[in-house]
């Protein structure tokens, strides 16, 4: 998957439906730029155009899942909030980036984590595996570019608390 002539650092196929590519970003030395495509039977190539995952897309999917299964979606959000707090760290070296972006290791980890949320598998637009993968990489991206960043955590908290739609959209679209 090529993005404006750039070669990806890592490519993650997810469920045969999505392909997530990670590129070197421009915001910092270890910035991660995420792009993805999804299967699209209507497109000539069979794939959507290359897209950048946005916080708002992620948040809308969580809201859809919340409408279908609030209890398990909150459990899922608790998992992500805990990940933000305890295990997601900024990248400070090429070795740390290489360890994080080891495709086999990260996909195996995501597969195991997704097993805890099979009840959400067919809810919303995105698969749980895809959401976990994107969430983890967005968290790392945010912490890498600004150690004191908090936007994604604020979004997770707002979704978990059931804040009103206007607050959630405001947080998810803040620049």
pLDDT in tens, 23-79: 999 988 999 999 999 988 888 888 999 999 888 998 999 999 999 999 999 999 999
Average pLDDT over residues 123-150: 90
Alpha-carbon gap, residue 174 to 26, rounded angstroms: 19
- Answer whether residue 26 is part of any domain: no
Average pLDDT over residues 108-133: 95
Q: Count the domains in the chain.
A: 1
C-beta separation of 18 from 33 below 8 A:
no
Q: Are 22 and 34 in contact (CB under 8 A)?
A: yes
Structural domain span for residue 119: 54-173
Highest mean pLDDT among 5-9, 67-71, 143-147: 67-71
Rounded to two decimals, the pTM is 0.91
Question: Is residue 38 in a domain?
Answer: no
Answer yes or no: is pLDDT of 136 > 90: yes
Cα distances (angstroms) measured from residue 173 to each of 21, 101, 102: 22, 26, 30
The DSSP call for residue 47 is B
Q: What is the pLDDT of residue 175?
A: 63
- Dist. CA 88–CA 77, nearest whole Å: 15
4 domain residue, yes or no: no
């Amino acid at each position: 998957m090529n993005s404006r002539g750039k070669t990806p650092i890592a490519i993650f196929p997810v469920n045969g439906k999505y392909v997530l590519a990670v590129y070197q970003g421009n915001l910092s030395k270890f910035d991660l730029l995420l792009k993805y495509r999804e299967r699209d039977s209507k497109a000539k190539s069979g794939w959507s155009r290359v897209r950048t995952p946005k916080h708002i897309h992620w948040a809308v999917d969580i809201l859809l899942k919340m409408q279908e299964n609030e209890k398990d979606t909150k459990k899922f959000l608790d998992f992500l909030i805990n990940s933000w707090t305890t295990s997601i760290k900024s990248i400070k070296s090429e070795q740390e980036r290489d360890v994080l972006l080891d495709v086999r290791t990260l996909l195996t980890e995501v597969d195991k984590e997704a097993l805890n949320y099979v009840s959400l598998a067919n809810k919303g637009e995105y698969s749980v595996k895809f959401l976990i993968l994107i969430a983890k990489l967005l968290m790392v991206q945010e912490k890498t570019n600004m150690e004191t960043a908090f936007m994604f955590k604020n979004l997770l908290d707002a979704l978990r608390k059931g804040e009103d739609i206007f607050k959630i959209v405001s947080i998810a679209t803040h620049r």
